[in-house]
Every structure is written in C-alpha cells, then in structure tokens.
A and B are shown apart, each in its own frame.
Chain A
Amino acid sequence: MSDQTHSGRGGAKGVLRSSQDFAAGLFLIFIALFALYLGWKLPMGTLRSMGPGMLPISLAFMVGAGGAALVAMSLTTDGEKLTRWSVRGLFFIVASILVFAYTVQTMGLIVAGPASMLVAMMASEDIKWVEGIIFCVLMTVLCSLMFKTLLGLPIPINNLW
C-alpha cells in the first residue's frame, strides 16, 4: 500500500495526472451510456409537453459530459491517485448481506443472523473465531428479543421447525 496511499498530489508521471479523476470520469461516462442504451427509445416529446424520455436522456447527456470533463481534467490538473480496492472487505460484506437476504425468509433470523454475521467477520483481518461465534449467538438472541419481542417487527425468527 505504501506507494498507493491517497496522498498522491503532485509529481505525477506520464499523461495521467490524476488516476482517480480519470477513473471517476470513465465511470460516469459508462453510466451515462448505459442509461442512454436503456432509454434511447423513450419519446422525447416537446418542451411544451415533455415526453417520458426528455429528462432521462438529457440528464444522461449531462452526466456523460460531467464524466468527460473529469477525464479532461485528469489529464491537465494534478489530483488524487486511485487507491487500491479492499476486495476482501467488499466481498465479504456484500456476501453477508446476500446471505441474510436469502436465508431470512425461508429459515428465519435463527440462521440468517449468525450466518450473515460470521461471513461479515471474515471481512476483517482481525478475526477471532471462538469469540466471534459466541458473539453471533448472543447478538441473534438479542436481536430477536429487541426487534421481535420488544419492538414487534414482523421478522421471521424460526422457520426451521
């Protein structure tokens, strides 16, 4: 991570003077193109009576223009560098949300809670299994009591038996 930290102002080599702005611009252009691809068939209407396509299409153009401006700026102005993505954190956190989503209705919080929390814990390098498992069980009990019993949310607790 040493040379990739975010304090990368100045002293850039090559054409790109801000890899973060460059990537950000491309990201916006991609979104704009995608929106245009989805929406190009929508009728524009006239200014007097705007059709459903007027705003999505014009906004997509504006977002694309913003992206292009960012790309242009990244070639002329020094700025931040793109920092490394934390793939591990991203993967396990997103996975934990999905685990929750796909178990909560069928099996209930009794499975969704511990399973999702254990997956989430793997996102951190600082993981202690025994402590983690005890914590997950306690938290699941606590959540059931707090959200179901006390606050009366209609969340399924146990659909297993």
Chain B
Amino acid sequence: MSDLLANLYLGFGVALSLKNLGLCFVGCMVGTLIGVLPGVGPIATIAMLLPITFGIDPTGALIMLAGIYYGAQYGGSTTSILVNIPGEATSVVTCLDGHQMARQGRAGVALGIAAIGSFFAGCVSTIFIAAIGVPLSKVAQLFGPAEYFSLMVMGLVFATVLARGSVLKAICMILLGLLFATVGTDLVTGQERLTLGIQDLSDGIDFAPMAMGMFGFAEIIKNLENVETRDVVQQKIGRLMPNLEEYKQSAWPIIRGTVVGGILGILPGNGAVLGPFASYTLEKKLAKDPSRFGKGAIEGVAGPESANNAGAQTAFIPLLTLGIPPNAVMALMVGAMTIHGIVPGPQVMTKNPELFWGMVASMWVGNAMLVIINLPLIGMWVSLLKVPYRLMFPAIGIFCCIGIYSINNSVNDVVSTAAFSIFGYALVKFGFEPAPMLLGFVLGKLMEEKLRQAMILSRGSFMTFVERPLSAALLAVALIMLIVAVLPSIRAKRDVVFVED
C-alpha cells in the first residue's frame, strides 16, 4: 500500500510539472478537436497526430499521446450525442439514448453526465492500473515463449468473437493480418520475405499508413457513397450539470459501467469494445422500466460512457505489463514508444519508473482536464459539426496526409496509404471488418518470434503449448470462447447485441 502511494506520488510529481500539464492539455485539446470530426475514430486521430509528439522527451510524448487518446474518445462521444454518428464501435451505444436526450433538448445533460461518468471511471481505473501493475508485471516474469504465444492466440480469438458479423470472416481477417505481418526481413535468418523486391518493404509493412488508409480514407470513401443525412441537433443544448434526480439515476450505472468496462478492457483482443455494449445491456436488464431505453434514458448514457472510458484506460495494462498491445490504438502507442527507444513490457516499470508512473498519473490528469476544458467548449464543437461533409472530408484528408507524411518525412508512406485506402475500401465492400486484421498484423511479428522460440525449446513439439499449465489454461479459455461464439443459440444473442444500434 505504501509502495502504491509512493509510486503515485512519484507519478503525480512528473505529471503535474508545468511542462507535462501543458502537453497533456494540448493533447486533450487537439485530440478532441480531431476526434469530434464525424467518421474519425481514435485510431485515425492518433495516427494523424503521432508526429507532433516526436520532438518531445519520451515521458512528455507519451503523456501527450495519452491525452490525444482520451480527447479522441471524448470527442467521439460528443459526436455520437450531437449528431448520431458514432466515430467508432464503442460509441455506437452512446448514440442510442444520448442522441435521443439531445433531441429532447437535454444534450447538455447527456454530455455532462458522459464527462462526469468518464471522469469517475478514469479515477477508478487509474488507481486500478497503479495497484495491479506491479503484481501483473511479476506474473509476466513467469511467462515463457509458449505462454506468450498462447496469450496472443487467446487475444486473437477474443477479437474474432467480438467482431461484428460472420465469425469465419473475422478469422480470415486475422489470418490475413498475420500474413501481412510476415512481410519483411526474417527475424532469424535475415532473409527477405514477400517483399516484391521493394526496398521499403524489407523493414515490413508500416503500421501507421495501413491504419490510416483502412480507417481514415476507406471510411471517407464509404461515407461518400451515401447521401449525407447528418442531423446535428437543432434543439438547445441546455444546462450541462445534471440535477440531483439525474445524479441519483446515474450513480449506480456509472459504478457498474466502470467495473464492467474496466474488467473487459484488460482482456487482450480489444475487450474494451465490449464494455459499452455489456453495460447498456446490463442497465436495461436492471431497469424498472426497460422501455425507457432508446428514448433518452440517462442511465443508457452514463453506464456505457463510464464503461468505455474505463476500458480505454485498462487497455493499457496488457501493453505496460506484458508488452502486448490489445488493440490497434495501443499498437500505435507501441510505435510511439519504439520511436523514443522504449520497449513496452514489464521492464518499463523498473527501468523508467518516472515514465511509467508519470503516464499512469497523467491518465487521471487527462480525465480531469477533459471535464474542465470540454464542457465550456461544447458550443464550439456544435458549430464545428455543422460544417457540411463536402468541406469536412477534404479537410480530414489533408490532416491525414500531413500526419502520415510527417511521421517519417516520407513520400512513400503517403503512397502506401493510398494503396491501403483501396485495400480498405475493398474489404468494406466484401463485408470484412478491418479491426481484427489490424490486430492480427500488430501481434504477428511477436507471435512468430515467440512461436519459433517455443518450438526450439520444445524440440519441435507442439505439445509444449498444452503441457505447460498456464499456456494450456489460456488456450482452453480461447477454445471455450470460440465454441461459445459459434453455438447457434449464443450466436443469435451476439447478433442481437451488435444489431441493437
């Protein structure tokens, strides 16, 4: 306990320095600004804004990136409530009741409770990360290559189960992501693989252009297909602070949402996506009058938003303790850390304690800042959202181009972004979800490394994965999840959860 306090003290010492406060503020600000744009989720936002953190020291850079991440999350919720366009999967649920509240002239309260719920969730998960970080990184030391490999298999299986639509298609996407990850120089022999003789590909496919093409530009092309029907709320925003009655209604949903979202967020394989859905379903089940949901029930905003934010934060746990990015956003964080010469994993905590605890503390600071800076700025976001799409998408495009170019000052990166835009659009047309592919790609290199190590240690026997108890347990969980997902009765329920929008 005293260790925890000492660590947090150290962290807050770092996070509350004037410079880091400033970086956190700028991060939250630009993150929200970009995240508010319809169709731009946290992945595209972070890829776009990654380069602005390059000139800063590692700790400052990660604090700023974390700020951008929370800002993008919060911006996405704002758009969901005001315009009914979810920026990403996790804010779909917020649209349901949040937008209804906005139409009833209670947009302010919806945004207010979202901010307060997120702040509460942020506080709890910051303490949670601080408390669980040290023990988990000890567990990480028990992990051999076989355990790491099995853990990542489990993550990928979760990603399949959590993806929308066909399980078969999600599995195909993961395999495709893994295949893409093998492009480049072989880790052991140094031989070039599948590079088409292109020099740039010998280091492998770059993640940022891929993510930007598939999530930024493919999204724009998709949106252009439909005639725009954006209905920015015309009603007044109303007061921001919920009244006592509304606080009472939201208190338990916020607490339950935080617990549900926080626990799901730790799961490798983007468990954070499930948080808001789970929380919404739970609140609807527990409600005295479930029919209010979908018609502007404040619990339907408070719970899922808290779950969303709790999950967004606890998703850092696998990255910081095991070095495994659980989703595409965290993979971009890995990229940012690598640029600053930090290898994510359990050693970060011991080798760079200021960085680790500073970042944990800055999570809390960032959440507090969002409440303070965003609520007064709602008017600005509303007017930004009234800009017609015909002007908005070229602006989003130019931001993306500048961002991608600036990562390496490379024209080739921009060209490969163009290629991935076509690829991403094709995937959309074929009914594939891009998210599982990105996760497969992100984990691919590490999985191959661990697989090869494990096979050397086991002298070529696959039995090692089931003989080692920890590894066997992880694989068993993965298998159960997969069976559950394919069972017809549960499949039907899973479809219902995702169709609820």
CA distance A93 to B228 in the complex (A): 17
Instruction: Check A90 against B391 for contact (C-beta < 8 Å).
Output: no
Q: Is A137 an interface residue (CB 8 A)?
A: no
On chain A, the residues within 8 Å of B401 by CB distance are 97, 100-101, 104, 112, 116
Q: A24-B430, A56-B193, A101-B411 are in contact. Are A89 and B398 (CB under 8 A)?
A: no
Q: Which residue of B lies closest to A139 (CB)?
A: B395
Q: Which residue of A lies closest to B182 (CB)?
A: A56
CA distance A109 to B406 in the complex (A): 12
Main SS class of interface, A: helix
Q: Is B456 an interface residue (CB 8 A)?
A: yes
Q: Which residue of A lies closest to B185 (CB)?
A: A52
On chain B, the residues within 8 Å of A59 by CB distance are 175, 178-179, 182
Interface string of B398-437 (1 = CB under 8 A from A): 1101100110010100110110011001100111100000
Instruction: Check B172 against A70 for contact (C-beta < 8 Å).
Output: yes
On chain A, the residues within 8 Å of B182 by CB distance are 55-56, 59
On chain B, the residues within 8 Å of A135 by CB distance are 391, 394-395
Instruction: Check B411 against A105 for contact (C-beta < 8 Å).
Output: yes
Instruction: Check A97 against B430 for contact (C-beta < 8 Å).
Output: no
Instruction: Check A35 against B179 for contact (C-beta < 8 Å).
Output: yes
CA distance A67 to B422 in the complex (A): 20
On chain B, the residues within 8 Å of A53 by CB distance are 193
Q: Is B225 an interface residue (CB 8 A)?
A: yes
Instruction: Check B425 against A116 for contact (C-beta < 8 Å).
Output: no
Instruction: Check B196 against A66 for contact (C-beta < 8 Å).
Output: no
Name the residue among B175, B191, B418, B451 with the largest chain A CB count within 10 angstroms.
B175
CB distance from B218 to the nearest CB of A (A): 9
Name the residue among A52, A60, A128 with the largest chain B CB count within 10 angstroms.
A52
Q: Is A155 an interface residue (CB 8 A)?
A: yes
Binding site for A on B (CB under 8 A): 51-52, 55, 168-169, 171-172, 175-176, 178-179, 182, 186, 188-189, 191, 193-194, 196, 217, 220-221, 224-225, 228, 388-391, 393-395, 397-399, 401-402, 405-406, 409, 411, 414-415, 417-418, 421-422, 425-426, 429-432, 448, 451-452, 455-456, 459-462
Known contacts A63-B175, A97-B217, A136-B394; 20 further A-B pairs (Cβ under 8 A): A20-B430, A20-B431, A39-B193, A42-B191, A42-B193, A48-B455, A60-B179, A80-B431, A89-B220, A89-B221, A97-B414, A97-B415, A97-B421, A104-B414, A113-B398, A117-B397, A120-B398, A124-B389, A131-B391, A155-B409
Can you give 30 A-B contacts (C-beta < 8 A)?
A: A20-B430, A32-B179, A38-B194, A38-B196, A47-B461, A52-B193, A55-B178, A59-B175, A63-B176, A66-B171, A66-B175, A69-B168, A82-B430, A83-B429, A86-B225, A90-B221, A93-B397, A97-B401, A104-B405, A112-B401, A117-B394, A117-B395, A117-B398, A123-B220, A124-B390, A132-B391, A143-B399, A152-B55, A155-B402, A155-B406
